[in-house]
Structure 1
Amino acid sequence: MIDSETLPQRPPEPQRPQETEQPEARPEPEPRPQGRSAPQLPPPSEQAYHRAARAIPHRRYWWRPLAALGVTAVVFVVLNIQVMAPLMILGEYWPAVATSVSMTDPLNPADQFLGLGMLALLVPAVLVGSLVGYGRAGIALSALGRFRWGLMGRVAVVVVPVYLLVNLVLNLILERDAIVVPQLGAGVIVAWLLTLVLAPLQCAGEEFVFRALPMQMVGTWLRWPLIGILLPVPLFVLGHGYTGLGIIDIAAFAIVMGLLAWKTGGLEIPILLHTANNWTLFAIAPLIPGFTEQGEVTVLGFLLAMVPMLLLAAGIWWWYSRRAGLGLWEPQRGWGQAPSSARAPVPAATAAPSAARTSRPLSG
């Protein structure tokens, strides 16, 4: 019997370290935003002139037209106090710079400076209001965010000769018996030069406050352009003091200028038509006493004002539609700033099919 102690012993197997089970890694929960999440900015998009404020991405729009209106009013009052009030006070002590009783004498430099200059101050007032309210002053000029001097120049080649013929030549012929050549002096020359310099700014000021401001205020809230075009018409009529046929003439002028601003996407054409009309009338006003006084308008005067304006507006409407590649009732749209920096590139896979057809703005 063999003793078990004499047998060779198998070396003990090395003990393997026990594998410990690792707990599965759980994804950490994403941190939750504290409070309400901030609303996302809407993507930029092309807009018509009356909706130009909507081309600028903002979280909220409802209060911006009110801010633009309030700032415009404050700036206009402040500018008038700083610029016009000193002249009126000076006129009390220095008769040479005093205004007339009517404040509409075309031979009085103070009348021309106050009457035209006061309205010209509406231009910076509206621009500052647009900058504060909407974040960009240029949208008051056009849907492209700038003033298109080239567009104005091309249209002026036709518009200016028409108004020179109608307002200068025809009125001088029709009013030849009433012509009185004033005695040329320093005051008359200064008044005439002030008229030629300030009349375009006065016309621009009226277009800014009666077209740009109300159209873009209402257009920020509503899509329909006609409301913003028609809303300021009664104020425009009351501000001119005409009666009878003159009311129809002024109301039609206001509506047509609003439609042209909507169609062409800016104020260039309305300012041009307004300036060409007023400039040529003011140029001969010193020769015909009472020529620029407002009130009753004759049938002939009504036709001389309405027919050229309507024909020119219709021609510009048709011409702009063809040149810009727009439908007859399609407005010019823009991004509210220069085209090179206005639109972010859109990947081809995500671009909308309709994005291939865009209007071609007429620029300077």
Structure 2
Amino acid sequence: MTPYHRLARETPGFEHWRLPVAALAGVGVYGTVSVAFVIVWMLGMVVAGADADAFLDAAGTEIALARPSVLAFQLLSIALLIPCVLGPVAVVWRRHVGYLHSVEGRLRWGWLGRCSLLAFAVVALGLGLSVVVDAATGGSLEVAPLDGTGVATILVVLLVVPFQAAAEEYVFRGGLLQLVGSWTRWAVVPVVVTSLLFAAGHLYDFWGLFSVFLFGVVACVLTIRTGGLEAAIGLHVANNVVLMVLDVLGFVDSTGEGAGLVDGVLPSLAMTLVFWGLVEWMARRTGLARRREPLPEPPPVPLYRVVPPPPYVPAGLPPAPQPVAPQPFPAAVSRPEPPPNAPSYPGDPGVWTR
């Protein structure tokens, strides 16, 4: 039985070059697609008469929750990673691309839905309790007025964040986890390496980066324990959506600035660990497939004998005569001797000698 992080290594037809080549190709494809995306977006802004330079300056900083158009641009630029991960793997190793989703070779939509509902309940309860505790211990609790910009931002968050969060999971807990896992037997190596890379992609302070690293570790463990990306995707989507919506409403700061070990890292870690425990319980109750049965070797390619085509006959001409195989001569038949009293045959030389 093969766990998720070893699916590539234990798939028939595995070669060590396949996933690294797919990763390099994915980087190239993402660079090309991103440039095209920026050009198209900027052309639209020029047609609309907006300031493209100021837009790019705002998009290059932290998540712009105060500007829905910039936020949509930032989130969509990350969501483009999904085809840039699946596409190169499908080209380099078509038989394996389905196993980036799960050990069943597909995205288990029912399991994804249950994990997402559970994640939203856990994250909303955890962040809500943290807001209440902060207010009870002397913190300020002010609700920001919800204007048209806030409504537009919430709509962008609800529509685009699921794709942005799923894209990050396919990169770090999908392709990279299996790539590193195919080169080592110890699961801790791909878990730590991919979590460090995941944290390096965020612009937070030290405790914020440490919290992101721990989130990546739990997401990796969830992926390996459940045999697929569904639980990690559900947790990531719920975490980002609830955080951003509460930030728009003024309850929390989604950037994590000013948060420390006690008021930032530990509550987030406790929330993810509670979700992990509930997912384990739910997976056992539903009989979820967590590992993959050994796959059969692909059938050998048959060797075909090359048969030359028949001779070409121009239109309007009779076909060339086919050679006829020589027929064997019939066996000689002995002539019966005439009886003694039979008359002579005409022309018998004996007639002329009489």
TM-score for the superposition, normalised by structure 2: 0.71
Aligned match of 1:5: none
Q: 1:120 to 1:99 in 2, by over 3 A?
A: same
Aligned match of 2:127: 167
In structure 1, which of residues 300, 307, 324 is the aligned counterpart of residue 287 of structure 2?
324
State the Cα deviation string for residues 211-261 of structure 1 (Å, max 9, x = none): 111111123333332222111222211222333432332111111111111
State the Cα deviation string for residues 141-181 of structure 1 (Å, max 9, x = none): 11211111111223334332121222246437746835353
Deviation at 1:99, TM superposition (A): 5.4
Preserved CA contact (<8 Å) 1:100 1:111: no
Preserved CA contact (<8 Å) 1:233 1:255: yes
Aligned match of 2:278: 315
Letter of the structure 2 residue corresponding to residue 241 of structure 1? L
Letter of the structure 1 residue corresponding to residue 174 of structure 2? A
Preserved CA contact (<8 Å) 1:71 1:132: no
Q: 1:200 to 1:152 in 2, by over 3 A?
A: same
TM-score for the superposition, normalised by structure 1: 0.70
Aligned match of 1:69: 23
Aligned match of 1:284: 246
Preserved CA contact (<8 Å) 2:72 2:156: yes
Aligned match of 1:53: 8
Query: Which 4+ runs in 1 deviate beyond 6 A?
Result: none
In structure 2, which of residues 41, 47, 55 is the aligned counterpart of residue 98 of structure 1?
55
Aligned match of 1:224: 186
Aligned: 1:141 with 2:95: no
Q: Secondary structure at the match of 1:232?
A: helix
Letter of the structure 1 residue corresponding to residue 97 of structure 2? A
Spell out the pairing of 1:212-361 with structure 2 (5 A cutoff).
212-288=174-250, 291-298=253-260, 299-321=262-284, 323-324=286-287, 332-334=291-293
Q: Which has the larger radius of gyration?
A: 2
Deviation at 1:193, TM superposition (A): 0.9
Q: 1:303 to 1:191 in 2, by over 3 A?
A: same
State the Cα deviation string for residues 280-322 of structure 1 (Å, max 9, x = none): 1111222229822244423223332111111221332344246
Q: 1:82 to 1:172 in 2, by over 3 A?
A: farther
d(CA) in 1 for partners of 2:169, 2:185? 21
Q: Secondary structure at the match of 1:177?
A: coil
Letter of the structure 2 residue corresponding to residue 48 of structure 1? P
Aligned match of 1:112: 71
In structure 2, which of residues 87, 111, 114 is the aligned counterpart of residue 154 of structure 1?
114
Aligned match of 1:26: none
Letter of the structure 2 residue corresponding to residue 98 of structure 1? F
Range with greater deviation from structure 2 (109-118 or 81-90):
81-90
Preserved CA contact (<8 Å) 1:162 1:308: yes
